[in-house]
Amino acid sequence: MFRQRRGAAIRHSGVAAGLLAGWALAVSPPASAVAPEPEPTWQDLGTLGGPQTPPKGLNNHGVIVGISQSADGSPHGFRWRDGVMNDIAPFTGTGSAATAINDRGDIVGSVDIDGLHTHAALWRRGKLIDLGTLGGSSARATTINARGDVVGQSSLAGHDDDGQHVFWWHDGKLTALPAGGYRAYANDINDNEDVVGGLVKANGEDHGVAPGAPGQARAGAAQFVNDQGRVVGYVSTGSA
């Protein structure tokens, strides 16, 4: 039986609503008088006409982006704010995807070009900027930092069969980042332009961990990096 999946958002609203109404506590009340934490409330984000809406990114202003199926089943990048969902690229190719949004409202993802290939994309102030590729036929943007720097993956000219090469987009220029001959992908970039992700070995294993990983790590990847340069990720320590 097909089960629909719809995006959802969760928020704590009690204290925020009170502050917006203009009240605040001058002193902390005794522990016995502290009201219990309000139960979280869920909100259905809806869809663009299809059955599924996986959210992919959220900024500090509560704006959500992701991918929603339209009525014809094609994927479309969406922007959701204050209960309203908008298709961010309704007339571009056969579909699109939104993967991240920063606090300035810049959205990154990809747009379909011909039904088979995609270009990395940036939506800034509602305008679509095609970031292109590193010479190959396909690319997609993964994430964006507060400064507007974008990272993602692209194929190279003549190498569309191994389309995982990391790019960095800065001040209108798309640049390939070195990966020591490996295929690679980028998961995050901080405001100091540190990029983390993983390398892909010839056997297909992810290999993006630093020396000193616990155990005899066979595979792993870095997932997130903060502005202090601290990195979190995962490692696989199974026997060879």
Find residue 36's DSSP bridge partners: none
Specify which residues 108 forms β-bridges with. 100, 122
Q: What is the pTM of this model?
A: 0.79
The pair of three-digit structure tokens given for residue 135, joined into one six-digit string = 């010479």
pLDDT at 159: 66
Point out the residues of the chain with pLDDT beneath 50.
Answer: 1-4, 10-26, 209-215, 240
C-alpha–C-alpha distance, residues 87 and 78, integer Å: 5
Half-sphere exposure of 205 (CA within 13 A, CB side): 14
Sign (positive or negative) of CA dihedral 172, 147, 137, 126: negative
Q: Read off the pLDDT of residues 39-49 as tens digits, 9 standing for 90 and up.
A: 888 889 999 99
The tokens of 62 are what? 């509560």
pLDDT digits (tens, 9 = 90+) for 39-98: 888 889 999 999 999 999 999 999 999 999 998 889 999 999 999 999 998 876 679 999
Checking 159-165 for CB contacts under 8 A at 24+ apart, the result is: 160/136, 163/136, 163/138, 163/139, 164/200, 165/134
The end-to-end CA distance of the chain, in Å, is: 39
Beta bridge partners of 196: 188
User: What is the predicted pLDDT for the residue at 182?
Assistant: 82
What does the domain layout of the chain look like in residue ranges? Answer: 38-236
Sign of the dihedral defined by the CA atoms of residues 163, 169, 172, 178, in that order: negative
Superfamily of domain 38-236: Peptidase/esterase 'gauge' domain (2.130.10.150)
